[in-house]
Amino acid sequence: MSKRKLSRQQRWRIEKIQAERAERAARRDTQDQDKLEAGEYGPEQPGRVIAHFGRTLEVSSSTSDRTYRCHLRANLDSLVTGDRVVWREGGDGSGVVVARSERDNVLERPDARGQLKPVAANIDQILIVFAVEPAAYANLIDRYLVAAEATGIPPVLVLNKSDLLPAEGGELRELLRRYEALGYPVITTSTQRIDGLDALHRRLTGCTSVFVGQSGVGKSSLIDRLLPDEALRIGDLSSDSRKGTHTTTTARLYRLPAGGELIDSPGIREFGLTHLDARQVTEGFIEFRQFLGHCRFRDCRHRADPGCALTAAVERGEIHPERFASYRRILDSLDHELR
Ligand SMILES: Nc1nc2c(ncn2[C@@H]2O[C@H](COP(=O)(O)OP(=O)(O)OP(=O)(O)O)[C@@H](O)[C@H]2O)c(=O)[nH]1
Ligand SMILES: [Zn+2]
């Protein structure tokens, strides 16, 4: 009884808060409209969302190095870091975003209720970082690759801590050759060597990248080396009263001194361990694609099914047995998650 009453009360409060929010946004929009008509905003210009805090955005201008605190016209959907926008300057370092350009792609993460929410957009490559220590294993790499394939953003494999590799290369080199044979670019890095980041710098130039990977592989160390100026990492939002609750969780876009851009947040770094469905997993193994649709049965589960084109390809040596085993393991883990 009391439980129900409470929930109705909560619902009423939520509705009230939402109504107030909508009213505030509408008021702000009318003010914007007045200002726009009064010519208080400059001409439309392209920009990019560097960070966002609710409906306040930090937007970089494509004509200067400055960033501007902008708000969003109420008729626009929410934006994410990396979005390309059209905005107008309002003087005093502020502005208004009036339109969003089409997104090339978007990275999504489940929110607290398990619903997928966009966290960043317009990313050119996902750098999957793994290391000699903690030892990389194929199944985890495959999981990240599958998650990357599902977004349509090309993945790049980054083997960090190459200073710890045995002279003859060991099993890890063998493993990397397998991925290279599939067409994935592989680069090696070390934060312990002067020239350890050369290949990485080349990869990052001219692109927007994100780093993902297991804890301890060296993502923070790599980013520290790429953004040596601490001010670059922390940003300039100290005057924002909402800072404390948002800066650590929302994604932020950084300009790399050597060229290129990096979008980073704790949520993005953990990307890849999110939920995938069985079809995404199957299509995420890129070498399987040519065989899909050729199984005898349309609903083939690619297990012991007769006439399975995938198991036949494994037998002919056209699919690596370890990749196939890895595929099975990822599917089994999904069944487990659903239970
Ligand atoms: N030998 C060696 N150690 C490294 C290298 N890069 C990072 N490390 C060390 O590896 C450890 C983990 O590095 P982090 O940068 O904290 O790793 P991370 O991926 O950011 O980890 P989380 O913050 O937990 O996600 C630290 O002790 C680093 O000093 C490297 O190239 N070579
Ligand atoms: Zn099959």
pLDDT tens-digit profile of 191-245? 999 899 999 999 999 999 999 999 999 999 999 899 887 655 544 444 443 344 4
Residue 300 counted as an annotated binding residue = yes
CA-proximal residue: ligand 1, atom 7 (nearest): 218
Residue 92 sits in the same domain as residue 110: no
Q: Is 272 in the pocket of ligand 1 (CB under 6 A)?
A: no
Distance 203 CA to ligand 2 centre (A): 37
Cβ(222)–Cβ(197) below 8 Å: yes
Residue 117 sits in the same domain as residue 81: no
Q: Quote the CA–CA distance of 2 and 241 in Å, as a whole number.
A: 37
Residue 38 sits in the same domain as residue 70: yes
Looking at the 3D structure of the chain, how many domains does it have? 3
Residue 256 sits in the same domain as residue 321: no
Burial 234-270 (b: 16+ CB within 10 A, else e): ebebeebeeeeeebeebbbbbebeeebbbbbbebbbe
Half-sphere exposure of 272 (CA within 13 A, CB side): 27
Q: What is the CATH number of the domain that holds 38?
A: 2.40.50.140
Structure tokens at 74: 């109420």
Task: Evaluate whether residue 235 is within a structural domain.
Answer: yes
Chunked mean pLDDT (size 10), the chain, 339 residues: 62 79 74 68 92 87 85 80 94 88 91 85 96 90 94 96 86 91 96 93 96 93 85 46 47 89 89 81 96 94 91 96 95 72
ipTM value > 0.85:
yes
Task: Evaluate whether residue 1 is within a structural domain.
Answer: no
pLDDT, tens only, 306-325: 999 999 999 999 999 999 99
Q: Give the residue from 100, 127, 149 where a domain finishes.
A: 100
Task: Evaluate whether residue 28 is within a structural domain.
Answer: yes
Residue 207 counted as an annotated binding residue = no
Residues near 197 by beta carbon (within 8 Å), at least 6 away in sequence: 189, 190, 191, 222, 225, 226
Where do runs of H (alpha helix) occur along the chain?
Answer: 2-37, 138-151, 170-181, 198-204, 219-226, 230-234, 243-246, 266-269, 278-284, 309-315, 321-338
Task: Evaluate whether residue 65 is within a structural domain.
Answer: yes
Residue 251 sits in the same domain as residue 285: no
Cβ(88)–Cβ(36) below 8 Å: yes
Closest-lying ligand 1 atom to the alpha carbon of residue 162: 31
Task: Evaluate whether residue 110 is within a structural domain.
Answer: yes
Residue 308 counted as an annotated binding residue = yes
Q: Which of 198, 211, 221, 248 for mutating ligand 1's site (highest number of atoms within 8 Å of CB)?
A: 221
Predicted pLDDT at 206: 93
Q: Is 221 in the pocket of ligand 1 (CB under 6 A)?
A: yes
Q: Which ligand is nearest to the CA of 288?
A: 2
Q: What is the CATH number of the domain that holds 180?
A: 3.40.50.300
Task: Evaluate whether residue 204 is within a structural domain.
Answer: yes
Distance 307 CA to ligand 2 centre (A): 7
Task: Evaluate whether residue 9 is within a structural domain.
Answer: no
Residue 110 sits in the same domain as residue 252: yes
Domain limits for position 77: 23-100
Residue 61 sits in the same domain as residue 156: no
Residues near 46 by beta carbon (within 8 Å), at least 6 away in sequence: 62, 84, 85, 86, 101
Q: Which ligand is nearest to the CA of 282?
A: 2
Task: Find residue 87's DSSP bridge partners.
Answer: 45, 97
Structure tokens at 309: 């084109």
Residue 186 sits in the same domain as residue 209: yes
Residue 70 counted as an annotated binding residue = no
Q: What is the CATH number of the domain that holds 320?
A: 1.10.40.50
Helices (H) and strands (E) in the chain, counts: 11, 13
Residue 117 sits in the same domain as residue 264: yes
Predicted pLDDT at 22: 77
Residue 302 counted as an annotated binding residue = yes
Predicted pLDDT at 1: 44
Residue 257 sits in the same domain as residue 111: yes
Predicted pLDDT at 245: 41
Task: Evaluate whether residue 18 is within a structural domain.
Answer: no
Structure tokens at 83: 């979005």
Structure tokens at 141: 């790499």
CA-proximal residue: ligand 1, atom 9 (nearest): 218
Q: Quote the CA–CA distance of 323 and 45 in Å, as a whole number.
A: 48
Closest CA to 197 of 229, 170, 168, 224: 224
Q: Is 267 in the pocket of ligand 1 (CB under 6 A)?
A: no
Q: Is 160 in the pocket of ligand 1 (CB under 6 A)?
A: yes
Residue 133 sits in the same domain as residue 200: yes
Residue 112 sits in the same domain as residue 254: yes
pTM, to two decimals: 0.84
